Structure 1
Amino acid sequence: MSLTIPLSSRDTSPPSSEPQSPRDFIEADSDTDGASGGASDGIQSCDTSTKSVNQSIFDYVREHGRTYHSYHSGSYPFPNDKPENDRMDVQHEIWKVMFRFRNHFAPLDDPRKILDIGCGTGVWAIEMGMQYPNASIIGTDLSPIQPEWVPSNVKFVIDDANEDDWMVEPQDYVHTRLLLGCFEDFREIVAKGFHALKPGGWMESQDIMPTVYCDDGTMPPDYPFALWAKTQDKAAMNVGKPMRIGNKLKRWYEQAGFVDVHEEVFKLPINGWPKDPQFKMLGKFNEQNYIEGIQAWSLFLFTRGLNWTKDEIEVYLVNVRKSISNHSVHGYHKIYVVWGRKPYDELDVPSSSSANPPPQSAS
């Protein structure tokens, strides 16, 4: 069952003139015209006359001072309240800069149908709507947290990707991002994405490997943030929501039948330890992102998967937050980007010309 969402009650006030994201710092002295959304021709409010909505989806589940989605409650283990939504929007900017201002890596050619699974606050779908004005973009999520004003070619739908039928027309491009810990078996999502595509269409997944990495020996064995990641992983496995999917995506794409499958791996610093100015800047924003998100990533999983109380979690997170800000530890996460093409027919094989597709600009 899918529900077209109504107007969101999220704050849509104009942003501050002060830099609020890593992209602000880079674009402040640049002529680059990013695809970040905002007021422009073609942006309109959702049409309230075509709504098919069950009002109960707004009756969020309240737990431990946070709110969670009510539609298929418990499917997604992280909050949907304003602090988390604001954090996710900043996180999108961090990833956008890390990806060199690309929204996608698949070599799209005038796509007309785009599907964003687990769209969250909708910012990626909105940017894609502006980048590809001839395309129809559908973003699906369990929570109606998307903004009121969107490009006219963008629509948000309340839907659970666990359902057998995604109820969409054949797509040119299917996109997922940061869906670790959301499904019992992400291979099923890859298979459904394959089924939802037109022959020749592309699917792409962008996800983080939760393991904390360090290349220079500065991370001690008892580094609290790395131990937290292992604890979270255990809790997630106990509730049947695996976190370690990033490094498996390429293999799963190939097993699902995709051809021309590619993988690119990025390093995202945990804090501002790098010497390189841009990576240091990304690390500083990411440090705040992690500090603000660590409670959201712990409450549901630790209470259900480990039987911890909220007080136990809060005490535990004190040292974890401190360790995130420890610049003497040169830790980072690996970000996996995998994309593949659905064959045109059974004789379709990977072509040498597409082995290394050129980077796609976000403009």
Structure 2
Amino acid sequence: MSLAIPPSPAAESDPPSSVEAVSPRSIIEADSEPSDGAESCDTSTKSVNQSIFDFIRENGRTYHRYQAGTYMFPNDQSENERLDLQYEIIKVLFKGRNFYAPLKDPKKILDIGTGTGKWAIEMGNQFPNCEVTGTDLSPIQPEWVPNNVKFVIDDANEEDWMIAPDSHDYIHTRILLGCFEDFREIIKKSFRCLKPGGYMESQEYMPTVYCDDGTMGPDYAFAEWTATQDKAAMTLGRPLRIANKLKRWYEQAGFVDVHEEIYKLPVNSWPKDPQFKMLGRFTESNLLDGLQAFSLQLFQKGLGWTKDEIEVYLVHVRKAISDRNVHAYHKIYVVWGRKPEKEEASAS
């Protein structure tokens, strides 16, 4: 089942690790003088079934109504603003690129889990002759969008997924960890729905906290929170550690010419390099703004914690995130692959 929002007129599990000696890219040099904490940081849409706008209220946050409980994180204004900041952070990290697959003249693009729709809108502007569709469980996208962009309320988990086989030139996902019981199923569906020669691309966040220089001790509260979050997610059947498996899953699904790029994203402004310092500063803000959202439903439903227990626990986690003496970072994976042409598939 899916609900279209008309355009406006104009498990696999592996043990979470915490320290990695060899980095995917060159070592980030830490700033020799870490600073103190002062641096921290209607009408068209309403035409769909009105009930999907009656969001579920829980713990002072709102959550999606359509397929309630499928997505464990809020959809309220503060979370949407955090998602927009996250989008800008990734854009800078990728040096302005929205995609890595070698797109030439795509006619149909699908963005699974589009969120606030910023990526879909930018792609619509970049490819004005292409039909760009963004799907999500929440109707949180803007009303005024390019004429070639539309948003649809849809659940990619469903068996009767709305996308026709061999219909799209490019399918995109970004930061969907914890959204699916088995992301391999999304890859398989996407493979089926791509035209021969079409591309799929996933830009994914690895929640494991890494450190290259030994400054992160075994008692680092943010790494401990990550392990706790991972335990809760696995209990609920919503794996978080999928980024490092994507390349293998793409190949297993039948994609060819599969590529992988890995980027480092500092947890806070500990790096010396000005751009990494800026990225770290905004990432710190993003993490602090989202920490409650990342914890509430997972810890309550997966571990049985109360809201008060969670809030007390997060006090030390927030301090750890802002500790510039710990040179911690996350990895962002970019994986893309091509669906073989018919003659390639026949030959293989």
Same structural fold, with TM-score higher than 0.5 when normalized by the shorter chain: yes
| 1:40-119 paired onto structure 2 within 5 Å | 53-119=48-114
Shift in Å at residue 2 of structure 1? 1.1
Map residues 201-240 of structure 1 onto 2, 5 A cutoff: 201-240=198-237
Please state if 1:312 is matched with 2:312.
no
Aligned to 1:167: 162
* Structure-2 residue corresponding to 1:34: none
Alpha-carbon distance in 2 for matches of 1:142, 1:61: 13
Aligned residue in 2 for 1:5? 5
Alignment of 1:276-315 (within 5 A): 276-315=273-312
Task: Write the letter of the residue equivalent to 2:56.
Answer: V
- Contact 2:57–2:63 (Cα < 8 Å) also in 1: yes
**Aligned to 1:217, what secondary structure does the other structure show?**
coil
CA distance in 2, matches of 1:317, 1:68: 21
Matching residue's letter, 1:2: S
Change (3 A) 1:260 1:46: farther
Matched AA of 1:62 = R
Provide the rounded CA distance (Å) in 2 between the counterparts of 1:243 and 1:177.
Answer: 13
2:325 aligned with 1:328: yes
TM-score, reference length from structure 2 = 0.87
SS in structure 1 at match of 2:259: strand
Partner residue in 1 for 2:175: 178
Check conservation: 1:178, 1:206, Cα contact below 8 A.
yes
| Distance change >3 Å, CA 249–CA 112, structure 1 → 2 | same
Local SS of the residue matching 1:104: coil
Pair 246,62 (structure 1): closer, same or farther in 2 beyond 3 Å: same
Q: Secondary structure at the match of 1:181?
A: coil
Q: Measure the CA separation in 1 of the matches of 2:64 and 2:291.
A: 19
Regions of 4+ moved over 3 Å: 45-48
Task: Measure how far apart 1:348 and its partner are.
Answer: 5.0
Amino acid of the structure 2 residue aligned with 1:120: G
After superposition, the CA RMSD in angstroms is 1.7
Residue segments in structure 2 that go unaligned for 5+ positions in a row: 9-41
Aligned length: 312
Q: Deviations over 1:117-156 (max 9, x none)?
A: 0000000000000011111000000000001211110000
Q: Which residue of 2 aligns with 1:200?
A: 197
Which residue is equivalent to 1:337? 334
Q: Tell me, which stretches of 5 or more residues in structure 1 are unaligned?
A: 9-44, 351-363
Q: What percent identity do the matched residue pairs reach?
A: 71
The correspondence for 1:263, drawn from 260, 264, 267, is 260
Q: Would you say 1:132 and 2:116 are equivalent positions?
A: no
- Which secondary structure state, in structure 1, belongs to the residue aligned with residue 344 of structure 2? coil
CA displacement at 1:168 relative to structure 2:
2.6
Q: 1:248 to 1:46 in 2, by over 3 A?
A: farther
CA contact (8 A) 2:5 2:44 kept: no
Equivalent in the alignment of 1:145: 140
Query: Displacement, 1:7?
Result: 8.3
What letter matches 2:171 in structure 1?
Answer: V
Question: TM-score scaled by structure 1?
Answer: 0.83
Asked if the contact 1:4/1:52 (under 8 Å) is kept, the reply is: no
1:347 deviates by 2.6
SS of the aligned residue for 2:292 comes to coil
